[in-house]
Structure 1
Amino acid sequence: MAMLKLQWLQVHHFRTVKPGTRLSFSPSFNVLVGFNGTGKTLLLDLVAAVASSDFTSLAEEPLDLEYALAADTGRITVRVRNVPGTGLSMDIVVAPRDMAWPLVIRREGLQVTVSRQDDASLVVQERIAPEVAGRLWLVLMSGGIAWVEKTGEGTATVEPLLAMAREVSALAGLSRFDEGLAYFEQLYQVELRLSRRAEGVLATGTGLASEALLDGLRRLAASQWGGPRYVVPSDSIPFLRDTARLLGFSAAEASLVPVEAPLEGKYESQTLGGLELDFVGSDGTRVSARQLGHGQKRVLALQHYLSRARAVVVADEVAHSLHPRLVRATLEPLGARQSFLTSQSPVLLDLLTFTSPQHVRDSLVWCRRDEGSGVLIWEDPSPEAAERLFTASTATPGQLGALLQAQGLW
């Protein structure tokens, strides 16, 4: 599946952010730089909402935003407004690469209006279900289906649009990786359900259950149904295997136990809980993940987060409590993913390299607060600042943190 990435974001109104703020983003690393209290975490939360195009968490927030998502398969531009008590509206232009013409979709309350961008005289309207709420992918799906039903043109006409809607849905649930251990604690708040049917075992889960863990349980239960304990080795769970390697353990495992008796009926099923994550040293010593140090717990949590955030990564204080080697190892697997990161440690900044002044402008965001008004000011580096920083970082690589401070930018 193609990976949609956030190209730019414009803030017309959101909390105390300066109206008219416009940020452009790199398709790879984006690092937010600024003093404490300048809204970096707020910007990360906003980026997560915009990149996932799910505004349900902001239902009570007055806002007016514009942004663009793009991939090889096409481009989506959105303006979203929310007035608490009145409701959320979306103006969307979706231009799939393999579609002859873009569609304009407007969502107002429970009404969706669809028209061709090159022919505004042809308009179709459709009522949508309340659960569509602020989720862009469901609005796109509703608009495409409404077009087919009202025009009779056939599903093939809007299949590229539906494909892009599925790409947006792949970003659903994107959230910010926190600077503390909240995510680590959430790892244990999972409940998994196994159902044994004629065609095999089905595994589903709530909370932060990883697909690899579900798949490992499914295969294990197929041969060990009804056991008192299910143990999945780290070889079957990439994030656990990678964590063991990074922390110097030889192996690890995840185990769960039934929390209720298996139900009898057409389909046998059982609920599993009590997740435990254990690491094994080269001498056979076992260590519970709960007994790891603070930084080790963050490594485990971050590896789990990265296993779920396959397209876009939003991480706060990514270098906090981590040895520089672990920071470097964490960044390496990001690969083609787009990432939005903060760090008050120069360790992260010193790992960044740039190919041009424009790359500097796209990859860094200055965050500051106006002392007089309290307005948050988020901005890309100026062309002049980007030129100076690119020249200096090329001459002295691996010293970006010091260069930023020397130039008064951090």
Structure 2
Amino acid sequence: MVKLKRLKIHRYRNVEPCELIFSDRRNVLLGPNGAGKTTLLSLISKILRTSLTDPGDPFSIELELTFPQGSLSGTIASREPEARPAELLQLPPMARAGREGAYAALEIPDFHLDLYISDLQTTVSIRRLKDQIAIEGADLDKEWPVRVAEGPMGLLHTISTLVTVASKMRVHINLWADLRSACRFDESLDTFRALTARSDDADISKDGLRPRIRLYRFRDRLQSAPISAINPDHGIVPKGILDIMKLGLPEGATDYSMDDNDITFLSEVVRLLGLRSAIAKIELIDKVVAGGDPPAEHFDFGNLKFWFTRRDGSIFQDQQLSYGQKRLLAFLYYLDANPSFVIADELVNGLHHAWIEECMNAIGDRQAFLTSQNPLLLDYLSFESAEQVKESFILCRNQADGDRERMIWRNMTDDEADMFYRAYQVGIEHVGEILRTRGLW
């Protein structure tokens, strides 16, 4: 699995420059409201998905990722503002065609990333400065035109290029798929609404936008795209649904129907809600055949719906679930779509304590970044050393800086981690109590 080991912030919004070290398992952000916990979760998601696309919001950030075959490290930084107008003139016609395309191009950051392949003891470097991309290492030296990195997802495609290079060196790295799904699970029902939005929903249809699952078929192989190309912050398609959809629609069919026996996360929902069964249905909205030999196709699916059957045989739809039930359904869907990371804001909101334990267990070996103002979440954490404590907590607070506030993010100090771990070993106080009474929360 991919792990985010380190994040060093030189410049980002009103955040004080800092370096954060992360645990491979559970990372919990602590602090008062407004101290930047959600901001940090969103930043982690953007970094992992390489989707730093805030126009006019300068940033410079170092990152370090590890995975079984090696590591990826480097710096991502926003372009200098004075360079942007000139750059726009150099873009291909497609990128200049409309306001959206222009902004997508302007938001592409500079970067210098190193992909280290441990088996080959080789480092492949890729950098983007101004109007060119260069790949170096392992007897490689190639310049790429600017169009390789166009659009908000350009850097992710650049990392995909690195992985392609590694593949040509006969090293298989499934890095791109893990990174693109590292989305933030929100503190309310935004994720649930994105998954179950209907084409005629007022909040969706007013802009002419509909959340969709897109599948591409090329040479009889299907691949998935984010569930919503417009707002990809809610993950990709869970493996269970994708596996079924890959089998192909029967001739003349316009939707897929899947029951809880087919999909692991839906089976878990049935178990935890004490139901008899559940069915998910997703409709075929559009099919487009592009040119080429063989021709490429893409299929757009949407209007995802769930029906549930109670033990007494009565049936109800997803919109009739309670607040906590909706969050549970959305989180289990989210987990099934995210193989390496969990980025969850206020996970315990609306959940019964038994469900909190089930959700924490379901996270498994994924690297988790969590926030909670509810101490119940903290009681499901365990620690084996003071060093693990130091890595597992990120302390967030605000600090006055003249007429404005700055966000301070940091790991615990050695002394703070030792103090916490000694109290934790005694076993009398709950984790939340230790943090509060020692002034750490």
Q: TM-score, normalised by structure 1?
A: 0.83
Structure 2 residue aligned with 1:44: 41
Secondary structure of 2:376's counterpart equals helix
> How do residues 65-144 of structure 1 correspond to structure 2 at under 5 angstroms?
65-83=61-79, 85=81, 86=83, 88-116=109-137, 124-133=142-151, 135-142=154-161
Q: Which amino acid aligns with 1:54?
A: S
* Cα distance, 1:140 vs structure 2: 4.0
Q: Is the 8 A contact 2:178 2:338 kept in 1?
A: no
Structure 2 residue aligned with 1:186: 194
Structure 1 residue aligned with 2:58: 62
> How high is the sequence identity, in percent, across the aligned residues?
28
> How do residues 399-410 of structure 1 correspond to structure 2 at under 5 angstroms?
399-410=430-441
Q: What is the alpha-carbon distance in structure 2 between the residues aligned to residue 94 and residue 209 of structure 1? A: 27
Q: What is the alpha-carbon distance in structure 2 between the residues aligned to residue 269 and residue 9 of structure 1? A: 37
> How do residues 125-204 of structure 1 correspond to structure 2 at under 5 angstroms?
125-133=143-151, 135-142=154-161, 156=168, 158-160=169-171, 163-164=172-173, 166-189=174-197, 190-191=211-212
* Cα distance, 1:172 vs structure 2: 1.0
Q: What is the alpha-carbon distance in structure 2 between the residues aligned to residue 84 and residue 184 of structure 1? A: 38
Q: What is the alpha-carbon distance in structure 1 between the residues aligned to residue 280 and residue 177 of structure 2? A: 29
Q: Which amino acid aligns with 1:129?
A: R
Q: What is the alpha-carbon distance in structure 1 between the residues aligned to residue 429 and residue 131 of structure 2? A: 52
Secondary structure of 2:384's counterpart equals coil
Q: Which amino acid aligns with 1:239?
A: F
Secondary structure of 1:375's counterpart equals strand
Distance 1:386 1:187, change over 3 A: same
Q: Report how many aligned residue pairs link the two structures.
A: 388
Q: Which amino acid aligns with 2:128?
A: R
Distance 1:290 1:220, change over 3 A: farther
Distance 1:293 1:105, change over 3 A: same
Q: Is the 8 A contact 2:148 2:158 kept in 1?
A: no
Q: TM-score, normalised by structure 2?
A: 0.78
Q: What is the alpha-carbon distance in structure 1 between the residues aligned to residue 156 and residue 244 of structure 2? A: 30
Q: Is the 8 A contact 2:238 2:334 kept in 1?
A: no
Match of 1:391 among 419, 422, 426: 422
Q: Which amino acid aligns with 1:399?
A: H
RMSD: 3.5
Q: What is the alpha-carbon distance in structure 2 between the residues aligned to residue 300 and residue 383 of structure 1? A: 39
Distance 1:109 1:356, change over 3 A: same
Q: Is the 8 A contact 2:390 2:414 kept in 1?
A: yes
Distance 1:140 1:289, change over 3 A: closer
Distance 1:282 1:198, change over 3 A: farther
Q: What is the alpha-carbon distance in structure 2 between the residues aligned to residue 267 and residue 112 of structure 1? A: 28
* Cα distance, 1:169 vs structure 2: 4.0
Q: Which amino acid aligns with 1:13?
A: R
Q: Which runs of 5+ in 1 are unaligned?
A: 149-154
Q: Which runs of 5+ in 2 are unaligned?
A: 84-107, 198-210, 229-235, 290-294
Q: Which amino acid aligns with 1:184?
A: F
* Cα distance, 1:395 vs structure 2: 1.2
Cα displacement string for residues 31-73 of structure 1 (whole angstroms, at most 9, x for unaligned residues): 0000000000000011111122332x33542100001001221
